Amino acid sequence: MKFSRALSLLSAFCLLLSACTPSSESSSDAPATYIENKGSDTIVNLALAWAERYQTDHPDVRISVTGGGSGTGLAALINGTVDIANASRKIKSEEIEEAQANGIEPVEHTIARDAIAVIVHPDNPVSELTLQQISDIYSGKISNWSEVGGEDRPIVRLSRETNSGTHVYFLETVLRLGSKEDKTLFSMDTLLLPSSEGIIAEVRQNPNAIGYDGLGYVPHDVKKIAIAKSAGEPYVLPSVETVNDKSYPIARDLYMYTAGEPTGIIKDYLDWILSPEAQEIVLQLGFVPIH
CATH assignment of the domain containing 186: 3.40.190.10
Q: Are residues 107 and 118 in the same domain?
A: no
Kindly report, residue by residue over 110-130, the tens digit of the pLDDT. Answer: 999 999 999 999 999 999 999
Q: Are residues 190 and 246 in the same domain?
A: yes
Q: Are residues 118 and 244 in the same domain?
A: yes
CA 227, 244, 281, 83 torsion-angle sign? negative
- The answer as to whether 240 is a domain residue is yes
pLDDT for the residue numbered 291:
79
Kindly report, residue by residue over 16-51, the tens digit of the pLDDT. Answer: 334 443 333 333 444 469 999 999 999 999 999 999
Q: What angle do CA 78, 79, 85 make, to 5 degrees?
A: 55
Q: Are residues 97 and 141 in the same domain?
A: no
- Is residue 200 within a helix (H) or strand (E), and if so which, with residue range? helix 196-205
* Count of the separate structural domains present in the chain: 2
Q: How far apart are CA 80 and CA 155, in angstroms?
A: 43
Q: Are residues 205 and 262 in the same domain?
A: no
Amino acid residing at 30: A
- The answer as to whether 276 is a domain residue is yes
In sequence order, the 6+-apart residues with CB closer than 8 A to the CB of 207 are: 121, 123, 124, 153
Determine contact, residues 87/257, Cβ cutoff 8 Å: yes
Q: How far apart are CA 175 and CA 156, in angstroms?
A: 16
Lowest mean pLDDT among 6-20, 114-128, 151-165, 199-213: 6-20
- Is residue 73 within a helix (H) or strand (E), and if so which, with residue range? helix 70-79
Q: Are residues 107 and 175 in the same domain?
A: no
Q: Are residues 200 and 278 in the same domain?
A: no
Kindly report, residue by residue over 72-123, the tens digit of the pLDDT. Answer: 999 999 999 999 999 999 999 999 999 999 999 999 999 999 999 999 999 9
- The answer as to whether 27 is a domain residue is no
Q: Are residues 125 and 214 in the same domain?
A: yes
- The answer as to whether 12 is a domain residue is no
- The answer as to whether 185 is a domain residue is yes
Q: Enumerate the β-bridge partners of residue 226.
A: 128
Lowest mean pLDDT among 1-5, 191-195, 238-242, 265-269: 1-5
pLDDT for the residue numbered 284:
95
Neighbours of 155 (CB within 10 A): 23
Q: Are residues 166 and 82 in the same domain?
A: no
Q: How far apart are CA 39 and CA 180, in angstroms?
A: 25
Q: How far apart are CA 51 and CA 68, in angstroms?
A: 17
- Is residue 131 within a helix (H) or strand (E), and if so which, with residue range? helix 131-139
Q: How far apart are CA 61 and CA 48, in angstroms?
A: 14
Q: Are residues 196 and 221 in the same domain?
A: yes
Question: What is the reported pTM?
Answer: 0.82
Beta strands in 91-162 (DSSP E): 106-120, 128-130, 156-160
Q: Which domain holds residue 57?
A: 33-113+253-284
Q: Are residues 186 and 80 in the same domain?
A: no
Q: Are residues 49 and 141 in the same domain?
A: no
Amino acid residing at 29: D
pLDDT for the residue numbered 32:
61
Q: What are phi and psi of 197, to 5 degrees?
A: -65, -35
